[in-house]
Structure 1
Amino acid sequence: MMETLAIAALLFLCAYILHKVRHMHLLVHALRDDTRHGHTTLFRQLEALQGLYISLGLRRALPLTRGWAASPDFLQELAAHALDEKPRCVVECSSGISTLVLARCMQLNGGGMVYSLEHDPVYARRTRRQLELHGLGAWATVLDAPLTLQAFGGATQVWYDSAKLPADAAIDMIVIDGPPQAVADAARYPAGPVLFPRMAPGAKVFLDDAERPGEQAALERWAREFPDLEIEALPCEKGAAALRYRPAA
């Protein structure tokens, strides 16, 4: 009886050790895959950043593009579109590095203006300072736009006070990278009802962080409420989406 118990205990121990070894094996492979993915992502961002400097001919370094800032691949998408299609009126939801990039595009294009809605006075001052340092103050305006409670589709939600936007300008390009997701479940949804009706035919919208649940909810609502929008995913680090306004003839 004791011998049988000893054999059973030994077999259980062997099975347990094999289970742990397999678990460690899987962890090692997962770590290897994560490391490879991390290297690939980093290389892609370095490529995008280098391409951005070349395309824009920048003589002064951009602010850091990690953390909350827009990633280089998303900035490159914005620059490529702005340089190719030469929008005259660009509206941003949130200011930052993208403001500098788009202002530089306007300068290279020889026309156009960027209007950036910014609810945080500290960030607004920083962006204005960067615009001046880069000699781009004439191509972008950072608008103080505090978050206020507004009505959208029968519900209330905080969003930028957009009263300072030019009332008569048709918008050719919109970049949505704010407000922060913490202010509401679908914090960026109001950009649709406020700004989309003011778009010129052929205008394009760029949404950052498009893989997050709140942004996915916003995209679903926009698709229902604005059927003239064509939506596509962009392969950017944080997830992004592009929406093209093509009104029916």
Structure 2
Amino acid sequence: MLPLATFSLAVLACLLTGYTLHKTRLVHLLLHELRDQGRQDNAALFRQMEALHALYTELRLRRSLPATRGWAASPDFLLELARHALSERPRTVVECSSGTSTLVLARCMQLNGSGKVYSLEHDPHYARATRAELARHGLADWAEVLDSSLTAQEFRSATWPWYETAGLPGERIDMLAIDGPPQATRRLARYPAGPALFARLAPDAAVFLDDAKRPDEQEILRRWANEYPEMQQQMLNCEKGAALLRYRPSTARQPGRFATSP
């Protein structure tokens, strides 16, 4: 029989060995996870580079676009906007928030030889920056950045900070891109695009919602699906998530289904 001290040391050695093996396995798993994550990140980055290259090629740009990282729209989302605008040739395009997407859409209007982009922008700094970029690219005639402050407006019996829309033209909207206002302004910040603008859509108009992977945007899409059954929803495979909604007026609409902008 082993002495008690020897037995205790043996048990301790077994425990330490088991603990070491457990930690080694965790490190091994972590390394595999980091490797897989690195591969996924590289693949995602490559996909954005491909989209950016396609954007420059299809738009035949002579000057560089602003950065497409961080808060800006990602290249894959911009490519979705460009391909739709070039193929369906919308005459009246409205944006919620200005930026690189304004340049992309304005260039599409220029290539099409018709149409105009109207960007609602609440931040004077971004408005000036977008106008400067439009001028640098020779696109000032194809897009107008509207100074549209966020004011308290009532939609669906609740108050929301939303763009002033008085500067928008009276024509029906053929294409709507929603990438604002910022998420920090209010929960479900982009929901009012529905009650404020869907009533102005032309038949078969397209609505693009960026950042559709976020919980807020997911909830917004669910609300819109209930409130606007005429708007057919489709998810797009974009980096930050995106949704395409098509207005199909052939679907029966109840009177008063759309709430008008205050």
Q: Give the aligned residue type for 1:40.
A: A
CA offsets 1:48-98 (integer angstroms, 9 cap, x no match)? 111111101100111111111111110000000000000000000000000
Aligned-CA RMSD value: 0.8
Q: CA deviation at 1:5?
A: 1.5
Q: Distance in 1 between matches of 2:149 and 2:178?
A: 16
CA offsets 1:127-147 (integer angstroms, 9 cap, x no match)? 000000100000000000011
Q: Report the counterpart of residue 133 of structure 1 in structure 2.
A: 136
**TM-score, with structure 1 as normaliser:** 0.98
1:75 aligned to 61, 75, 78, which one? 78
* 2:26 is aligned with 1:23: yes
Q: Secondary structure at the match of 2:63?
A: coil
Q: CA deviation at 1:10?
A: 1.1
Q: Distance in 1 between matches of 2:54 and 2:216?
A: 31
Q: Distance in 2 between matches of 1:221 and 1:121?
A: 31
**TM-score, with structure 2 as normaliser:** 0.93
Q: Report the counterpart of residue 159 of structure 1 in structure 2.
A: 162
* 2:62 is aligned with 1:85: no
Q: Report the counterpart of residue 148 of structure 1 in structure 2.
A: 151
The answer to which of 1-10 and 72-81 deviates more is 1-10
Q: Report the counterpart of residue 206 of structure 2 in structure 1.
A: 204
Q: Distance in 1 between matches of 2:235 and 2:10?
A: 58
Q: Give the aligned residue type for 1:231.
A: Q
Q: Distance in 1 between matches of 2:98 and 2:161?
A: 18
- Aligned structure 1 segments of 4 or more residues deviating by more than 2 angstroms: none
Q: Report the counterpart of residue 37 of structure 1 in structure 2.
A: 40
Q: Distance in 1 between matches of 2:10 and 2:198?
A: 73
Q: Distance in 2 between matches of 1:153 and 1:19?
A: 56
Q: CA deviation at 1:4?
A: 2.2
CA offsets 1:104-159 (integer angstroms, 9 cap, x no match)? 00000010010000000000000000000100000000000011111011111111
Q: Give the aligned residue type for 1:234.
A: L
Q: Distance in 1 between matches of 2:213 and 2:11?
A: 50
CA offsets 1:169-190 (integer angstroms, 9 cap, x no match)? 1000000000000011100000
1:46 aligned to 45, 49, 68, which one? 49
Q: Report the counterpart of residue 247 of structure 1 in structure 2.
A: 249
Q: Distance in 2 between matches of 1:248 and 1:80?
A: 25
Unaligned runs of 5+ in 2: 252-262
Q: Distance in 2 between matches of 1:14 and 1:173?
A: 65
Q: Secondary structure at the match of 2:101?
A: helix
Query: What is the aligned residue count?
Result: 248
Q: Distance in 1 between matches of 2:189 and 2:11?
A: 59
Q: Distance in 1 between matches of 2:24 and 2:163?
A: 54
Q: Report the counterpart of residue 257 of structure 2 in structure 1.
A: none
Q: Report the counterpart of residue 103 of structure 2 in structure 1.
A: 100
Q: Distance in 1 between matches of 2:121 and 2:189?
A: 14
Q: Secondary structure at the match of 1:138?
A: helix
Q: Report the counterpart of residue 66 of structure 2 in structure 1.
A: 63
Q: Secondary structure at the match of 1:91?
A: strand
Q: Give the aligned residue type for 1:139.
A: W
Q: Give the aligned residue type for 2:75.
A: P
Q: Distance in 1 between matches of 2:16 and 2:110?
A: 71
Q: CA deviation at 1:234?
A: 0.7
Structure with max Cα Rg: 2
Q: Secondary structure at the match of 2:141?
A: coil
